[in-house]
A and B are shown apart, each in its own frame.
Chain A
Amino acid sequence: MAMEVTQILLNAQSVDGSVRKHAEESLKQFQEQNLSAFLLSLSNELVSNEKPVDSRKLAGLVLKNALDAKEQHRKSELAQRWLSLDIAVKAQVKACLLQTLASPVPDARSTASQVIAKIAGIELPQKQWPELIGSLLSNIHQLQPHVKQATLETLGYLCEEVSPQVVDQDQVNKILTAVVQGMNASEGSSDVRLAATRALYNALGFAQANFSNDMERDYIMRVVCEATLSQEVKIRQSAFECLVAISSTYYDKLASYMQDIFTITAKAVKEDEEPVALQAIEFWSSICDEEIDILDEYGGEFTADSDIPCYYFIKQALPALVPMLLETLLKQEEDQDQDEGAWNLAMAGGTCLGLVARTVGDDIVPLVMPFIEENITRPNWRQREAATYAFGSILEGPSPDKLTPIVHVALSFMLTALMNDPNNHVKDTTAWTLGRIFEFLHGSTVETPIITPENCQQILTVLLQSMKDVPNVAEKACGALYFLAQGYEDVGAASPLSPFYQNIIEALLTVTRREDAGESRLRTAAYETLNEIVRCSTDETAPIVMQLVPVIMMELHQTLEAQKLSSDEREKQNELQGLLCGCLQVIIQKLGAAETTKYGFMQYTDQIMDLFLRVFACRNATVHEEAMLAIGALAYATGTNFLKYMQGFYPYLEMGLQNFEEYQVCAITVGVVGDLCRALEDKILPFCDGIMTQLLKDLSSNQLHRSVKPPIFSCFGDIALAIGENFEKYLIYAMPMLQSAAELSAHAVADDDDILEYTNQLRNGILEAYSGILQGFKSSPKTQLLMPYAYHILQFIDTLYSEKDMDDAVMKTAIGVLGDLADTLGSHVGPLINQSVSSKGFLEECLSSDDGLIKESADWAKLAISRAVSG
Chain B
Amino acid sequence: MADEDVSPQSSYHRDAIKTSVHNTSAQRRRQLAVAVGKERREALIRTKRLCREAHFDDNEASLEGDMNIEEERAVLNAQASQIIEDLKSATTYQGKGAAQKKVEALRALRRLLSKSEFPPVKAALQAGAVPLLVQYLSFGSPDEQLLEAAWCLTNIAAGEPEETKSLVPALPLLVAHLGEKSSVPVAEQCAWALGNVAGEGDELRNILLAQGALLPLARLMMSNKGSTARTASWALSNLIKGPQPNAATELIRIKGVLDAIIQHLRNLDDELVTEVAWVVVYLSALSEAAVGLLVKSDVVHLLVGKLAASERLHLLIPVLRSLGNLVAADSYMTDKVLVVGHNTTDQILLGLIKCLKSEHRVLKKEAAWVLSNIAAGSVGHKELIFSSEATPLMIHLLSSAPFDIRKEVAYTLGNLCVAPAKNAEQPSVIVHHLVALVNRECISGFIHLVRSADIQSAKLGLQFLELVMRGMPNREGPKLVEREDGIDAMERFQFHENEEMRTMANGLVDKYFGEDYGLDE
Contacts and interface: CB of A to CB of B under 8 A. Distances in A.
Interface of A: 12-13, 24, 57-58, 61-62, 110, 114, 156, 160, 198, 201-202, 237-238, 241, 278, 282, 285, 340, 343, 347-348, 350-351, 353-355, 389, 392-393, 429, 432, 435, 475-476, 478-479, 482-483, 520-521, 524-525, 528-529, 531-532, 582, 585-586, 589, 599, 602, 629, 632-633, 636, 641, 668, 671, 674-675, 678, 714, 717-718, 721, 768, 771-772, 775, 778-779, 781-782, 784, 816, 819-820, 823, 826-828, 859-860, 862-864, 867, 871
A860 B48 CA distance: 12
Interface string B28-44: 01100110110011001
A61 B22 contact: no
22 contacts: A12-B1, A61-B1, A62-B1, A282-B13, A347-B16, A350-B18, A392-B18, A393-B17, A435-B21, A475-B20, A482-B21, A520-B20, A524-B22, A582-B29, A589-B33, A632-B37, A633-B33, A674-B41, A675-B37, A819-B49, A860-B49, A862-B64
Interface stretch (B55-63, B447-455, B461-469): B55-63
A482 B13 CA distance: 27
> Range of interface residues on chain B?
35 or more
A274 to B, nearest CB: 12
B26 interface: yes
B235 to A, nearest CB: 16
Contacts of B270: 781, 784
Given A61-B3, A348-B13, A520-B20, A201 B41 contact: no
B230 to A, nearest CB: 6
Interface string B55-83: 11010101010100000000000000000
A160 B8 contact: yes
Given A629-B33, A632-B37, A717-B41, A778 B4 contact: no
Given A478-B21, A641-B100, A582 B26 contact: yes
Contact of A718 (B41, B62, B226): B41
B476 interface: no
A278 B269 contact: no
A57 B66 CA distance: 75
B29 A781 contact: no
B29 to A, nearest CB: 6
Contacts, number: 158
Contact of A828 (B8, B53, B64, B312): B312
B41 A525 contact: no
Contacts of B8: 156, 160, 198, 201-202
Nearest to B56: A779
A782 B15 CA distance: 55
Most chain A CB within a 10 A radius of its CB, from B16, B34, B53: B16
A13 B13 contact: no
Nearest to B4: A61
Contacts of A768: 41
B277 to A, nearest CB: 14
B341 interface: no
A409 B422 CA distance: 115
Contacts of A429: 18
A75 B201 CA distance: 73
Contacts of B26: 524, 528, 582
A529 B21 contact: yes
Interface of B: 1, 3-4, 6-9, 13-18, 20-22, 25-26, 29-30, 33-34, 36-37, 40-41, 44-45, 48-51, 53, 55-56, 58, 60, 62, 64, 66, 97, 100-101, 117, 226-227, 230, 269-272, 312-314
Contacts of B41: 674, 678, 714, 717-718, 768
A828 B1 CA distance: 65
Contact of B29 (A521, A586, A717, A860): A586
A778 B271 CA distance: 12
A234 to B, nearest CB: 9
Contacts of A717: 41
Given A13-B1, A714-B41, A859-B64, A479 B21 contact: yes
Given A636-B36, A717-B41, A775-B48, 10 more contacts: A58-B1, A62-B1, A156-B8, A201-B8, A237-B9, A282-B14, A524-B26, A525-B21, A529-B21, A668-B30
Nearest to A286: B14
A778 B52 CA distance: 11
A476 B230 CA distance: 66
Most chain A CB within a 10 A radius of its CB, from B4, B40, B44, B272: B44
Nearest to B27: A528
Most chain A CB within a 10 A radius of its CB, from B6, B25, B55, B313: B25
Most chain A CB within a 10 A radius of its CB, from B8, B15, B37: B37
A678 B40 contact: yes
Nearest to B227: A781
Contact of A671 (B15, B37, B97, B117): B37
A241 B64 CA distance: 61
Contact of B313 (A632, A674, A827): A827
Contacts of A392: 17-18
> Which 7 residue pairs spanning A and B have beta carbons closest together?
A479-B21, A528-B25, A781-B271, A354-B17, A524-B22, A775-B48, A351-B17
Contact of B25 (A532, A602, A867): A532
B29 A775 contact: no
Contacts of A343: 13, 16
B13 A778 contact: no
A775 B49 contact: yes
Contacts of A476: 20
A511 B367 CA distance: 84
A511 to B, nearest CB: 13
A482 B17 contact: no
A343 B16 CA distance: 8
B272 A781 contact: yes
Contacts of B314: 827
Given A641-B100, A717-B41, A867-B60, A351 B21 contact: no
Contact of A599 (B1, B49, B97): B97
A721 B48 contact: yes
Contact of B44 (A238, A629, A678, A820): A678
B220 to A, nearest CB: 16
Contact of A351 (B7, B14, B53, B230): B14
Contacts of A389: 18
B271 A238 contact: no
B313 A432 contact: no
B135 to A, nearest CB: 22
B269 A781 contact: yes
Contacts of B55: 779
Given A532-B25, A632-B37, A671-B37, A602 B56 contact: no
A114 B312 CA distance: 67
Contacts of B18: 347, 350-351, 389, 392, 429, 432
Contacts of A826: 56
B53 A778 contact: yes
B39 to A, nearest CB: 11
A61 B6 CA distance: 11
B48 A778 contact: yes
B64 A721 contact: no
B6 A674 contact: no
A93 to B, nearest CB: 20
A202 B45 CA distance: 49
A844 to B, nearest CB: 15
B230 A775 contact: no
A641 B9 CA distance: 56
A237 B56 CA distance: 74
Nearest to B7: A198
